[in-house]
Amino acid sequence: MESCLNVQVSRDMLAPFRQNVLRRGRELYRDLPWRRTTDPYEIWISEVMLQQTQVSRVDGRWQRWLERFPTVDALATAQTADVLDEWQGMGYNRRALSLLKAAKAVSDGGGRMPCEAADLVALPGIGPATAAGIRAFAFDLPSVYLETNVRAVLLHELYPDAAQVPDRELLPIVEATCPQDASDPSDDPRTWYYALLDYGAYLKRVVPNPSRRSRTHVRQTKFEGSHRQKRAMVVRALLAHRGDGGGASLDSLTREVNEEEARAGRPPVQESAVAALLEELAREGFCHRDGESWLV
């Protein structure tokens, strides 16, 4: 397989590429719940939940989140423990904290989600792809939305024999192919990116995942037994004590973590390691110490 370093995609290739993607998008369209709204807050939550998470897992959890925190202001006033509790099972607890911090910033600024990319990426936890998704799906504005399904389409259609394709080659193509206005509802930014997403999801089912030929592709590290899993166990143990006025002691948290480790057939975790995890989580805003007890 050849390197992509000398591969050039000419502009005369883009028109037929767009026509094909739009056609496949119409054929493969998925009527997902978050596509039935243009509310920027609801779109934002869906974009964060869909990061490295299967659509089938998000469908249901997204609705439940919105029942509990229906608006950005409702989320902004929520307790950290409640936000973390609702996020359990979605992975990467940091994202829940970032949602809470960003909601507070938006609420303090008047409660309206911004639509400009620079303003969106200034919020905690919102990167370029999430900002682009909010712009396209909530506001129908042109954006440079490069995520895994979009990469899959670009690599399959335009770089079929290339390996290690860098994003710097793909980003100009994404920018050039995105419609610049919403005057044509059959080919506006929202419709265009839905087509890319649905075609990309289809390709991953029927051919070897093209996005693996991206230079940004990183094989996901094993979660079981990892440091990240142990952090998640400590967070769950803390949440289990959130109704206790006095919180949880280091000894009880260690015991609960090791009960879970034993059920999984893994060796016990030393109390000193649990203490280090608690300190790490406290620095990030997940919990705090009150005397001999830990509270979320």
Give catalytic residues, as residue numbers.
Answer: 47
Burial string for 109-134 (b: 16+ CB within 10 Å, else e) reads: eeeebbbebeebbebebbebbbbbbb
CA–CA separation, 13 and 158 (whole Å)? 8
